[in-house]
Amino acid sequence: MAAKRKLVRVRSWNVNGMRAVAQKGFLDWLAGSKATIVGLQETRALPEQLEPTLREPPRWRTHFSAAERKGYSGVGLYAREAWSELVTTLGDETMDAEGRLQLARFGRLWVANVYFPNGSGKDRSNDRVPFKLDFYRRLFDALEPLRRGGGRVLVMGDFNTAPAPIDLARPKANEKTSGFLPEEREELARWTAAGWVDTYRHFHPAREGAYTWWSQRFGVREKNIGWRIDLVLASEGAMPFVRGASIHPDVTGSDHCPIGVDLDGAALD
């Protein structure tokens, strides 16, 4: 009898600053997560600014893509498996300068760790929405050959968009707020119409109160007045291997909480 394959646990977390979350138990969470692949967003640090134990924990392979602007944006990847390819560019200088992408291949599985732009802009003017939508479209186009070819692809991270009214506590009050604007939701809906699957909603189609981000105003998280803006999308080629999707609101240390999917280990073969 063939040995049963282990699950591949993939986790994503907007940590709102690597150096800050390191002081709030990040390495303990990482060790206890039993994760295979972890993607972090909003790391806000250059690799050399991180303590060695954070930058390269034992038995983890790591990579960080930082923004040119100090203390801004950035993504990080921690993995138990070795990746064979790693791409950090979309071919646009302005977008690439913000350090928002890591696309890594683990065997036959591709994992995109992405920190999508926030459209709010200065003084919540929504003036960054066009840039945000351009980023979405450029990434969609970059991944489309993989998806269309039947590739096993996960796109995870802080999408900065709540897909539907069920995904935020106060949808009516936020119809003119970036993160729930019609044009932002339409762009995300274009992805799912093309075949990308919102893994959490696949397994929990009607679950209310499932949020991943809360304002840092006093009492908001305790009252669960939140948004589900952190997602894992799976291509049609990856979806048959996905065994479950989860949100972990009990994990603190950031204004976001971790999310994830578990896959059959055969996804890598």
* Active-site annotation, residues: 158
- Kindly give, in sequence order, each residue whose CB lies less than 8 Å from that of residue 138, ignoring residues fewer than 6 positions away: 90, 91, 92, 95
Distance CA 213, CA 59 (A): 30
Distance CA 230, CA 206 (A): 17
Instruction: Tell me if residue 205 falls in helix, strand or coil.
Output: coil
Which is nearest to 259 in space by CA: 205, 170, 199, 190?
Answer: 199
Looking only at the bridges linking them, the beta strands covering 85-87 and 109-115 are unpaired
Total length of the chain: 269
Instruction: Tell me if residue 47 falls in helix, strand or coil.
Output: helix
Distance CA 211, CA 158 (A): 12
Tell the burial category of 125 from Cβ atoms under 10 Å away from its Cβ (0-12, 13-18, 19+): exposed
> Directed axis angle between helix 182-194 and helix 129-148, to 10°?
0
Distance CA 99, CA 75 (A): 6
- Kindly give, in sequence order, each residue whose CB lies less than 8 Å from that of residue 146, ignoring residues fewer than 6 positions away: 110, 153, 235
Distance CA 221, CA 213 (A): 8
Instruction: List the strands of the sheet with 152-158, edge to edge.
Output: 85-87, 101-106, 109-115, 152-158, 230-234, 197-198
